[in-house]
Amino acid sequence: MDVSIIIINYRIPHLILNCLNSIYAHTSNIKFEVIIVDNDPANGAAEEIKNTYPDITWIDMDYNAGFGRANNKGMSVATGDYFLLLNADTLITDNIIYRCFDQLNKRQDVIACGAYQYYADGTPMPFYKSFNDFRKTFFILPPSRIVENVMGTLFPEPNYTDPEQYDWLVGAFVFVRRKGFELTGGFSEDFFMYGEDVEWSGRLGKLGKLCLLKDSKFIHLENENPFRRTRISWINRFSTQMQVSNFLWIRKQYGIISYLILIIHYIFMIPVVFAWRIAINLRESGKPFSELTTQFIFVRKTRVILKYFFRTLFLKKGLYKIDPSENIDRLTIS
């Protein structure tokens, strides 16, 4: 088998079918298998999908295992020389799977590759181009040339001679050699959702290059999920689940000091963001406490981060999945 395509299902059979339709319509010149791992078998509509595509391999999980664990399960039974981890909410628009296969056969220095994400309307989706590009967004600092220069010095961009090489690949489309899974063990199973692709990329990058192939793209529909961020603002850039996962990634990849710096930064910023907003309220309306919703959301999210402080600090094993009562984004949807 040339390629094993692994897709995670969680109550989205219609998206799975659309994704599979695009794969079978555009993929040729290779032998491939499709493995679907269902994180919610009771509501997964397995029969509907299997009736349409009877040759797929279907795996039921006993619980909602999240992204990393479910993909690891799929990779553990895959028979292909290469694995393609593909989000259910994606569409293939040409023979990109064969091109990835062909390129990695030719380029033994590349351990895994990805493609550029596009929205459904055909516009390119922005992405973080390096670990440091991503890390800088964790700090809540006033936008200015001075701050930008300081952060650029503290978190410099990598300088790769290969124009296609990047630090990490977005989990929505990861085309990886089998040995990439076998030598690393796959995703860290501590992550429930978000951050697992970044952390795995760090370990994969020690085995070879990670590349985004030029002129390769796919459509990412970004299906709604209960952990997606809402009320996006300067101080609330990530959802609560994203933040817990991001801090876990920092601890795993960069160590205790980097993790503690972030924790101290968020605690210190609580009075700062309130003082900043109160000053604006006084200037605009003369009512200092008239609009502080965003600031209180920040406090609630920080409390959740601190709840996971000791677990993250000591890297205790287990699934870092927030409870429904900690899902501040869902609780504060207006």
**Architecture of the domain whose range is 3-220:** Alpha-Beta Complex (3.90)
Strand duo 32-38 + 3-9: pairing: parallel
Q: Which residues of the chain register pLDDT less than 70?
A: 44, 223-231, 334
Radius of gyration over alpha carbons of the chain, in Å? 21
Residue 287, both tokens: 């009512």
- Taking 3-state DSSP, the helix, strand and coil percentages for the chain, each rounded to the nearest 5, stand at 45, 15, 40
Q: What is the pLDDT of residue 271?
A: 96
Q: Which residues pair with 116 in a beta bridge?
A: 217
The Cα–Cα gap between 188 and 65 comes to 12
Q: Where are the domains positioned within the chain?
A: 3-220, 240-331
pLDDT tens for each residue of 168-177: 999 999 999 9
Count of H-run helices and E-run strands, the chain: 12, 8
Residue in the block written with tokens 């795993």: 252
Q: What is the pLDDT of residue 143?
A: 85
The structure tokens listed for 271 are 């009075």
Query: Cα 216 vs. chain centroid, distance in angstroms?
Result: 19
Please give the structure tokens belonging to residue 314.
């000591």
Q: How much is the pLDDT for 20?
A: 97
Contact of 246 with 195, CB cutoff 8 Å: yes
